[in-house]
Chain A
Amino acid sequence: MSPNFLGKNITMTETAEKIRDHFDLFHQPEYADMMDNKRKQFENSVGEAEVARVSDWTKTKEYQEKNFAREALVINPAKACQPLGAVFAAVGFEKTLPFVHGSQGCVAYYRSHFSRHFKEPTSCVSSSMTEDAAVFGGLNNMIDGLANSYALYKPKMIAVSTTCMAEVIGDDLNAFIKNAKEKGSVPQDFDVTYAHTPAFVGSHITGYDNVMKGVVEHFWDGKSGTVEKLERKPNESVNFLGGFDGNTVGNIREVKRIFELMGVDYTIFGDNSDVWDTPADGEFRMYDGGTTLEQAANAIHAKATISMQEFCTEKTLATIAAHGQEVVAFNSPIGITGTDRFLQAISRITGKAIPEALTKERGRLVDAIGDSSAHIHGKKFAIFGDPDLCYGLAEFILELGGEPTHILATNGNKTWEAKVQALLDSSPFGVNCKVYAGKDLWHLRSLLFTEPVDFMIGNTYGKYLERDTGTPLIRMGFPVFDRHHHHRSPIWGYQGTMNVLVKILDKIFDEMDKATNIAGKTDLSFDIIR
């Protein structure tokens, strides 16, 4: 017993013998009392009834109208910034160091973001611009930065992107890099690609696009005028662009397996599957795997380039097409029909038949869906995330007879909106569904109250919506911070689709169990067989 600052004696339940962590500690009476007192005496809190009233009001149609009339404020955006996508793209190349020209704080964000999702370190440096750089320009930071990172981390290539700070003052990356090379920061023939990636334009998918376009232009168009432009000599290979993808580790491996089964000569353009999945064997791999620089250059000769995510690769595909290649874009195809289209495109381009092994996988998927789709049929879903993923998931849900009631992408544009609408119009299950481009998760919150759905598919940030609205969250996309290792499972191909199916079903059955698991009360249908 000891008197607290109010002179009141309290008993501390925390003892050295039994240390409680944050899950339990603050539920102990002394903390509960303290917080209660604070609320009553110092926080000028309104009564519980008033809190409840306002809370209920935010669930109404009236509030939704006000919410959707928002003009300036964005609340809980489901998107990230361009440089994040830039770093994602950069680490997909062999021994490539992402170098972000701008303030170092931003870079710390990208690294922690990726580490939390992939449970792997992400190597990335910054030119650490400070106040004087902001005033006088960041040239010196570029010169010193490139020299230091080249000397310290021995990369084979450096991929420069920018933060807002450098973009606001208008630093010219091409000129800066040339300058730095002249000053001897890195050898003249050392590969430094660049892309302007201000966060105030677009989102992480734009950043991915810009870096990929930068890499293509660097290798194919004469490395900023330092060498001859490559001449395209078409061969039979295909290039593959995955796009910004939270499941990249599993997806890229699955796509490689499919290419190999079909006997296709392929180049994964930006392969992050190894760098974000390094083994624990005593060796720290700052770089691992990735598209080799030679492959990146030779990719110009490919017959065609396939992008798995159209809205992640708009500029890159245009650039590639301008070099004379056929480009084919998908929207994160998930499901039977989506995967059929993907495989048929590969088959058409390469002339290789779809092998029996894949036909069997398809049959197994059809079988699995037949076994359990009755549980998904008629269920309503809200889907949020990146535009392509939203499209792929919505198509799959329609295929299962589910209704993707709300489809929302903060970084979706009008073209995307029209495309998703066309998809909805093509299915009887899409009749009551709506697509929302440029809306945020606070908009979605209103929708989940006024037009409730059975399940929600999206990234970890959906858990707040799950808590507020009681809509169970199926985690998919980026980031997934609060569940581990999802990025290892593919969601593309028939096998990837199978993973998505199982994930959805697991959640449906979990909810069924939850609704029936109170002994003696709700457990009538707490069944072993579902």
Chain B
Amino acid sequence: MSRLADKIQDVFNEPGCATNQVKSEKQRKKGCSKPLQPGGAAGGCAFDGAKIALQPIVDVAHLVHGPIACEGSSWDNRGVKSSGSKLYRTGFTTDMSENDVVFGGEKRLFRSIREIIAKYDPPAVFVYQTCVPAMMGDDIVAVCKVAAEKFGKPCIPIIAPGFVGPKNLGNKLAGEAMLDYVIGTQEPEVTTPYDINIIGEYNVAGELWQVKPPLDELGIRILSCLSGDARYHEVAQSHRARAAMMVCSTAMINVARKMEERYGIPYFEGSFYGISDTSESLRQIARLLIARGADPELMDRVEALIAREEAKAWAAIKAYTPRLEGKKVLLITGGVKSWSVVLALQEAGLTIVGTSVKKSTKEDKERLKEMSPDVHLIDDLRPREMYKMLKEAQADIMLSGGRSQFVALKARMPWMDINQERSYAYCGYVGIVEMVRQIDKALSNPIWDQVRSAPPWEEVTWEARADAANAADAAQSAAAAMPAARVA
């Protein structure tokens, strides 16, 4: 356990992260996420974070060591796509029972690994630690070591049992496992000055594939993506890349930073959401590659491609303006939010009336204010607050992840999913056009008229009802906040 505790402290100290570095020593030790509040609604656990981060490595057998809960609930639950092996979609678990809890689950784990290798012969087996065996003291590192020696196959322990913390910590611990056991263990057959890594991109709904064609055209090779549509050997060879782009920064910044330290691979933080962000990311990639020896003419080609693709995308978006002009949008998103998405939405004629800023930097916020002065900046994403805000903002549509969907609908707000689990990919030059198309489609859906109108026999309007609900809410919170006054 001490090893895990050390690991966690190591992850909590992130020199690559500005927010982290301004913290005091003591604060830093508490980790990145706010401590969980017992009794409050909570997000996923560390195991979930680790599984999500690595499951997109498609040819690996992902074996979850624990009772059915962990794999049963996480089995193939994200729409990440593979261009080849579908092994990542097969649910492997040791399905621990009472007997295993009493007598220990290591043997069962070992046999499970043996059976996977016999039946599936994957390039590697990833073994995920979960709460129960972690508490029992099953030493999965030792089991993996023995199994790897015995079967001549990499068996990688992913130590992120749920109780150690939230999902984000799990993302990072998964990254640590890659750094400790996978990255740098194989050599690529050939390398080129145009090899890059993309870190923190999961190919949800095939988004990576919207970015790949421009890179292919430029002759830039994705040596490894961590972890969208990745193969084990790609990750193992990723230390030979010349530059890296970090997409979802809070998830795997430790990987990008440590790869820079260990292998000298420079990285930048970028995004493929929105037209200008995509262009800027391409420029950054070219800049880093050229700095490390690629032919400077690469930049000319990048600029030519950007000019061409941007023109196409803007024209395609512009076509929607007559239909979307003046429509108000709320952006409640986690990762899929950047000012360049805002820019694209504005180009299409939409007005942003509110956006969540929980994961935004100060700079982002200022920029947002600059672009649309009336925008509501929303920090608090508790359902009750969200409901209130949805109502107040009087938006025509809310763009958000699956979790806010249901609140939106109860508040009778049109809604479109732009986070995980979505069915459409919104990356790169084509993705943003698709997003505008989908917004247009969602806005013209006739169900919203029904959602917004009361049953014809109801005399109270939905606005009045929502007001009443909020007033009651406010009264309740006011009362709860002043128990002393009440006693007096």
Binding site for B on A (CB under 8 A): 336-337, 340, 343-344, 347, 353-354, 359, 362, 366-367, 369-371, 373-374, 377-378, 398-401, 427, 429, 519-520, 523-530
Please determine whether A523 and B86 come into contact, CB atoms closer than 8 angstroms. Answer: yes
19 contacts between A and B (CB under 8 A): A340-B455, A344-B456, A344-B457, A359-B455, A366-B447, A367-B409, A370-B409, A373-B447, A374-B441, A374-B445, A377-B441, A399-B446, A399-B447, A401-B447, A524-B206, A527-B76, A528-B77, A529-B79, A529-B421
In the assembled complex, the CB of B209 is this many whole angstroms from the nearest CB of chain A, namely 10
A354: which B residues are within 8 A, CB to CB?
455, 457
Question: What per-residue 1/0 map shows which CB atoms of B69-85 lie under 8 Å from chain A?
Answer: 00000011101011100
Inter-chain CA distance A498–B445, complex, in Å, is: 18
The residue from B405, B441, B450 contacting A366, defined by CB atoms under 8 A apart: B450
A373: which B residues are within 8 A, CB to CB?
445, 447
Task: Determine if B444 is an interface residue (Cβ-Cβ < 8 Å).
Answer: yes
Kindly identify, within residues 413 to 442 of chain B, every residue whose CB is under 8 Å from any CB belonging to chain A. Answer: 415, 421, 423, 441-442
Inter-chain CA distance A399–B405, complex, in Å, is: 21
In the assembled complex, the CB of A339 is this many whole angstroms from the nearest CB of chain B, namely 10
Pick the 7 closest A-B CB pairs, nearest first.
Answer: A373-B447, A401-B446, A528-B76, A377-B445, A370-B409, A354-B457, A401-B445
A359: which B residues are within 8 A, CB to CB?
455, 457-458
Task: Determine if B451 is an interface residue (Cβ-Cβ < 8 Å).
Answer: yes
In the assembled complex, the CB of A38 is this many whole angstroms from the nearest CB of chain B, namely 45
Question: What per-residue 1/0 map shows which CB atoms of B384-420 lie under 8 Å from chain A?
Answer: 0000000000000000000001000110000100000
B79: which A residues are within 8 A, CB to CB?
525, 527, 529
Can you name the residue of chain A whose Cβ is closest to the Cβ of B205? A525
A524: which B residues are within 8 A, CB to CB?
81-83, 206
The residue from B76, B206, B450 contacting A336, defined by CB atoms under 8 A apart: B450
Give the contact-size bracket for chain B.
20 to 34
Can you name the residue of chain A whose Cβ is closest to the Cβ of B410? A367
A523: which B residues are within 8 A, CB to CB?
86
Inter-chain CA distance A401–B440, complex, in Å, is: 13
Inter-chain CA distance A529–B456, complex, in Å, is: 35
B405: which A residues are within 8 A, CB to CB?
371
In the assembled complex, the CB of B258 is this many whole angstroms from the nearest CB of chain A, namely 33
A377: which B residues are within 8 A, CB to CB?
441, 444-447
A336: which B residues are within 8 A, CB to CB?
450
Please determine whether A519 and B456 come into contact, CB atoms closer than 8 angstroms. Answer: no
In the assembled complex, the CB of B401 is this many whole angstroms from the nearest CB of chain A, namely 13
The residue from B409, B444, B446, B448 contacting A398, defined by CB atoms under 8 A apart: B446
**8 further contact pairs, Cβ within 8 A, besides A340-B456, A370-B447, A370-B451:** A343-B457, A359-B457, A371-B409, A373-B445, A519-B86, A520-B86, A523-B86, A527-B76
Please determine whether B446 and A347 come into contact, CB atoms closer than 8 angstroms. Answer: no
Inter-chain CA distance A526–B450, complex, in Å, is: 32
In the assembled complex, the CB of B486 is this many whole angstroms from the nearest CB of chain A, namely 33
Please determine whether B409 and A529 come into contact, CB atoms closer than 8 angstroms. Answer: no
Inter-chain CA distance A343–B455, complex, in Å, is: 11
Please determine whether A366 and B206 come into contact, CB atoms closer than 8 angstroms. Answer: no
In the assembled complex, the CB of B435 is this many whole angstroms from the nearest CB of chain A, namely 14
B415: which A residues are within 8 A, CB to CB?
370
Kindly identify, within residues 447 to 484 of chain B, every residue whose CB is under 8 Å from any CB belonging to chain A. Answer: 447-448, 450-451, 455-458
In the assembled complex, the CB of B190 is this many whole angstroms from the nearest CB of chain A, namely 27
Please determine whether B457 and A353 come into contact, CB atoms closer than 8 angstroms. Answer: yes
Given A371-B409, A524-B83 in contact, is the A399-B450 Cβ separation under 8 Å?
yes
Inter-chain CA distance A527–B80, complex, in Å, is: 9
Chain B CB within 10 Å, residue with most, of A343, A374, A427:
A374
B444: which A residues are within 8 A, CB to CB?
377, 401
Can you name the residue of chain B whose Cβ is closest to the Cβ of A369? B447
Can you name the residue of chain B whose Cβ is closest to the Cβ of A375? B423
B442: which A residues are within 8 A, CB to CB?
374
A530: which B residues are within 8 A, CB to CB?
423
Can you name the residue of chain B whose Cβ is closest to the Cβ of A336? B450
A529: which B residues are within 8 A, CB to CB?
77, 79, 421
A378: which B residues are within 8 A, CB to CB?
441
B83: which A residues are within 8 A, CB to CB?
524
Chain B CB within 10 Å, residue with most, of A359, A370, A373, A399:
A370
A398: which B residues are within 8 A, CB to CB?
446
Please determine whether B450 and A429 come into contact, CB atoms closer than 8 angstroms. Answer: no
B456: which A residues are within 8 A, CB to CB?
340, 344
A399: which B residues are within 8 A, CB to CB?
446-447, 450
In the assembled complex, the CB of A278 is this many whole angstroms from the nearest CB of chain B, namely 37
B447: which A residues are within 8 A, CB to CB?
366, 369-370, 373, 377, 399-401
In the assembled complex, the CB of B449 is this many whole angstroms from the nearest CB of chain A, namely 9
Can you name the residue of chain B whose Cβ is closest to the Cβ of A525? B81
In the assembled complex, the CB of B461 is this many whole angstroms from the nearest CB of chain A, namely 14
Can you name the residue of chain A whose Cβ is closest to the Cβ of B416? A374
Inter-chain CA distance A89–B302, complex, in Å, is: 75
A343: which B residues are within 8 A, CB to CB?
457
A400: which B residues are within 8 A, CB to CB?
446-447
Inter-chain CA distance A429–B449, complex, in Å, is: 14
Inter-chain CA distance A367–B451, complex, in Å, is: 8
Chain A CB within 10 Å, residue with most, of B441, B447, B448:
B447
Can you name the residue of chain B whose Cβ is closest to the Cβ of A353? B457
Chain A CB within 10 Å, residue with most, of B448, B456, B458:
B456
In the assembled complex, the CB of B466 is this many whole angstroms from the nearest CB of chain A, namely 14
Chain B CB within 10 Å, residue with most, of A354, A371, A519, A529:
A529
Inter-chain CA distance A429–B451, complex, in Å, is: 18
Inter-chain CA distance A306–B448, complex, in Å, is: 30
Please determine whether A369 and B450 come into contact, CB atoms closer than 8 angstroms. Answer: yes
Can you name the residue of chain B whose Cβ is closest to the Cβ of A343? B457
B450: which A residues are within 8 A, CB to CB?
336-337, 366, 369, 399
Chain A CB within 10 Å, residue with most, of B76, B410, B451, B455:
B455
Inter-chain CA distance A374–B455, complex, in Å, is: 22
Can you name the residue of chain A whose Cβ is closest to the Cβ of B415? A370
Chain A CB within 10 Å, residue with most, of B75, B405, B409:
B409
Can you name the residue of chain B whose Cβ is closest to the Cβ of A341? B456
In the assembled complex, the CB of B167 is this many whole angstroms from the nearest CB of chain A, namely 18
A427: which B residues are within 8 A, CB to CB?
446
Inter-chain CA distance A340–B450, complex, in Å, is: 11
Can you name the residue of chain A whose Cβ is closest to the Cβ of B454? A359
Inter-chain CA distance A176–B150, complex, in Å, is: 96
A528: which B residues are within 8 A, CB to CB?
75-77
Question: What per-residue 1/0 map shows which CB atoms of B84-103 lie under 8 Å from chain A?
Answer: 00100000000000000000
In the assembled complex, the CB of B85 is this many whole angstroms from the nearest CB of chain A, namely 9
Inter-chain CA distance A369–B415, complex, in Å, is: 13
In the assembled complex, the CB of A494 is this many whole angstroms from the nearest CB of chain B, namely 10
In the assembled complex, the CB of A369 is this many whole angstroms from the nearest CB of chain B, namely 5
Kindly identify, within residues 327 to 346 of chain B, every residue whose CB is under 8 Å from any CB belonging to chain A. Answer: none
Inter-chain CA distance A398–B447, complex, in Å, is: 10
Please determine whether A362 and B446 come into contact, CB atoms closer than 8 angstroms. Answer: no
B423: which A residues are within 8 A, CB to CB?
530
Can you name the residue of chain B whose Cβ is closest to the Cβ of A359? B455
Kindly identify, within residues 21 to 56 of chain B, every residue whose CB is under 8 Å from any CB belonging to chain A. Answer: none
B421: which A residues are within 8 A, CB to CB?
529
Inter-chain CA distance A377–B445, complex, in Å, is: 6
Inter-chain CA distance A527–B420, complex, in Å, is: 13
B458: which A residues are within 8 A, CB to CB?
359
A527: which B residues are within 8 A, CB to CB?
76, 79
A353: which B residues are within 8 A, CB to CB?
457
Please determine whether B206 and A429 come into contact, CB atoms closer than 8 angstroms. Answer: no
A337: which B residues are within 8 A, CB to CB?
450
A519: which B residues are within 8 A, CB to CB?
86
Can you name the residue of chain B whose Cβ is closest to the Cβ of A348? B457
Inter-chain CA distance A399–B450, complex, in Å, is: 9
B445: which A residues are within 8 A, CB to CB?
373-374, 377, 401
A370: which B residues are within 8 A, CB to CB?
409, 415, 447-448, 451
Given A367-B409, A371-B409, A519-B86 in contact, is the A362-B441 Cβ separation under 8 Å?
no
A526: which B residues are within 8 A, CB to CB?
86
Inter-chain CA distance A369–B79, complex, in Å, is: 23
